[in-house]
Structure 1
């Protein structure tokens, strides 16, 4: 590969690459906006049908399959021109315009929303997987953000996207580079799916023990609780009794959150943390994007200085705290794991937290409780629908919530049983970070053909082992 280079809008690129506008590398009508809002309304959504990809479902080059809206077969036929094919690339049209995802075979035939743009490359010119990684280059992301229109809400259109220049090597080089990077992404996806399964197992166990009361019912009926050792089974009663919240296992008590809370606190006012206060390293800021799983996502933070965090000490959190969202994506609940990457974090303005008195309540138990249907119902019962959805008076309201809680020894036993699950999740996350760092390091050199697959095959094999 020639060492000569040329300067482009993306910085230095090898001189022997071919350059063309994106529109000239796509099939006819290959760059297309999703349906107008008048063509598709929320009331058109059905429980079972064809999924629609929105901006919220664009992960890091993968479609996120949770909470997908769906439409009927009739609407799918009506909106057929917006049907996706495997190999299409879906862009965010508004907001985070550098977000994109490659459509996989399992998503063939799905639709995309009006807030998205679809790119369908010509297979004789570009490998779709390679192009999706080209769009993931940091230099491309910076460029697409710079040419988006609108200051407060950046947006793209077909003209803007059609005119972007693409620098590409021959198809064989494209395919080899995409193959190597996809190997890493496939393992990352598998590890994330494994973690979702592990978290679902823990939540199912909580539901069995503390919502459906399966061990209590089994002992009442003279049976040994399924899959439970004798020491754990002995911690459950064998009957129910009345309480102000209805039938409850005998000996369990009704209390308010404030009865076992060491502290309940809010994130700071928005004026206290601004974009201009962010620094390259320091105290990480937890926002809603970190609360999508049961355990706080411990990567990709904005930071503020230690001095700034000291001034916001009432909004600082630590391992063992349970964090909630009170405005915007309300209902989010996540636990800051005992092996969190940092000793201190600060919340953003839309979050609040609960720190338990661990001799009375474990954070694992309370986090799982507020993930249940009953817990979510209680958490959202004080929601205001005026403007941005929000929980009114979140701190005082959380303190006032009543619930039936088991003895502390049983809460602790549940935390012990779940620790192997959460430890597995954290180990997988560490592996994901390793793979992500390797992919991101290889991306700028593999995509323009500056590295050959043979040169990185051993490093990729070792990372995947």
Structure 2
């Protein structure tokens, strides 16, 4: 690292490029070796094809629509790699595919055959478009869509091809590490749930059994309702005037829309703390879709579509997997004419076969290292996402050059 280079943490502290480059270009001096080019001179937006769900056969090839992957198919019609650009809908997305894929007629695609010049890197274009605000280019009232001609007229900065590739490699390596962590967490979740089912659903470690109101269970188990061993906090939604997207108040979850593999994604906050879940509480959706389960990654407000639960005596890992394993069993409790839902009484009176305390403690102890690893990966992904989101607009505008920063602290290549 020379005296003129900046660390990644220093770059993250620089403010002023929160908007897409196309909206900030007037305030950033373009490097002399970079060119400004209309998008229409670089590529052709290719139309997707009609592929109704009823005509799809389950297979290995992803099907993309206007806002991401919408399914799978046994065949493909676009050669990878490629960029998928949302064409119609409320929120227009940008996606990347390393595998051969399909695009339906609500989206465009760009692959190597779509490029008009050889001096542009496809992956660099993908990251450049991620920094766009596509929704501002929509037209139409009934079904708003991306105006192709206006998109072509937009201009972007084009560095020399080697610099494009370096920029794309830096951002790609960060995304690869994020995806690797997600895949590890998915495997760890599956291992934990497999252990739970083996012990507390299939009862494999137990020899002596008895009949009960919910069927044959181990002799040492007791039939208990959830309210007998867990505290239940039914969500209640404050008025919308208390919601914001600026981070004021506590994270707010209205339903399972933002649920992830284990923790929900925070997109909205609430200043009125009506019903509050504590960090590590178990969250369950009680309105359609009923029975989705997550954990509270931090203290948060729960709306009417979510209920929070916590164990009275133990850590919540057992309770988390108990609710996940019982998701199919909530079907009989669903009610409502407009949408399916379950109420607090349904949750309170839900019967389960509760194992002895020592077995719950044993399960929590056995899975504690996996839980810790999952949490470490989630925390690292948060830091990596913030780093990527900070770097992306600066690299795309030329405010930060790849030779100006010290990449030694970006230990991604060796870890992916």
Q: Per the shorter chain, which TM-score range?
A: 0.7 to 0.9
The aligned counterpart of 1:175 is: 165
CA distance in structure 2 between the partners assigned to 1:89 and 1:442 by the alignment: 22
Q: TM-score scaled to structure 2, two decimals?
A: 0.82
Which of 79, 85, 90 pairs up with 2:80? 85
Q: Could you tell me how far 1:333 is from its partner in structure 2?
A: 0.2
The aligned counterpart of 1:111 is: 102
Q: Could you tell me how far 1:457 is from its partner in structure 2?
A: 4.4
Q: Could you tell me how far 1:442 is from its partner in structure 2?
A: 1.8
Per residue, is there more helix in 1 or in 2? 1
3-state DSSP of counterpart to 2:110 = strand
Counterparts in 2 of 1:409-424, with a 5 A limit?
409-424=358-373
The aligned counterpart of 1:369 is: 322
Which of 272, 296, 312 pairs up with 1:357? 312
User: Is structure 2 residue 242 aligned with structure 1 residue 281?
Assistant: no
Contact 1:325-1:350 within 8 A present in 2 as well: yes
User: Is structure 2 residue 264 aligned with structure 1 residue 302?
Assistant: no
Which of 400, 425, 429 pairs up with 2:374? 425
Q: Could you tell me how far 1:174 is from its partner in structure 2?
A: 0.9
Higher relative contact order (CA closer than 8 Å, sequence separation 6+): 2
Which residues of structure 2 form unaligned runs of 5+? 1-20
3-state DSSP of counterpart to 1:214 = coil
Q: Could you tell me how far 1:250 is from its partner in structure 2?
A: 1.1
Q: TM-score scaled to structure 1, two decimals?
A: 0.74
Counterparts in 2 of 1:1-40, with a 5 A limit?
9-11=23-25, 12-15=27-30, 16=32, 17-26=34-43, 30-36=44-50, 40=51
Kindly report the root-mean-square deviation, in angstroms, between the aligned alpha carbons of the 2 structures.
3.0
3-state DSSP of counterpart to 2:324 = coil
User: Is structure 2 residue 197 aligned with structure 1 residue 207?
Assistant: yes
Aligned residues: 387
Which of 266, 277, 296 pairs up with 1:317? 277
CA distance in structure 1 between the partners assigned to 2:388 and 2:240 by the alignment: 32
Contact 1:174-1:447 within 8 A present in 2 as well: no
Change (3 A) 1:265 1:437: same
CA distance in structure 1 between the partners assigned to 2:24 and 2:147 by the alignment: 20
Q: Could you tell me how far 1:150 is from its partner in structure 2?
A: 6.4
CA distance in structure 2 between the partners assigned to 1:8 and 1:458 by the alignment: 26
Contact 1:184-1:460 within 8 A present in 2 as well: no
Counterparts in 2 of 1:428-443, with a 5 A limit?
428-443=377-392
Change (3 A) 1:88 1:462: closer
Contact 2:82-2:96 within 8 A present in 1 as well: yes
User: Is structure 2 residue 90 aligned with structure 1 residue 95?
Assistant: yes
Which of 36, 54, 69 pairs up with 1:43? 54
User: Is structure 2 residue 118 aligned with structure 1 residue 127?
Assistant: no
Contact 1:169-1:448 within 8 A present in 2 as well: no
3-state DSSP of counterpart to 1:51 = strand
Counterparts in 2 of 1:183-222, with a 5 A limit?
183-216=173-206
Which of 111, 130, 136 pairs up with 1:146? 136
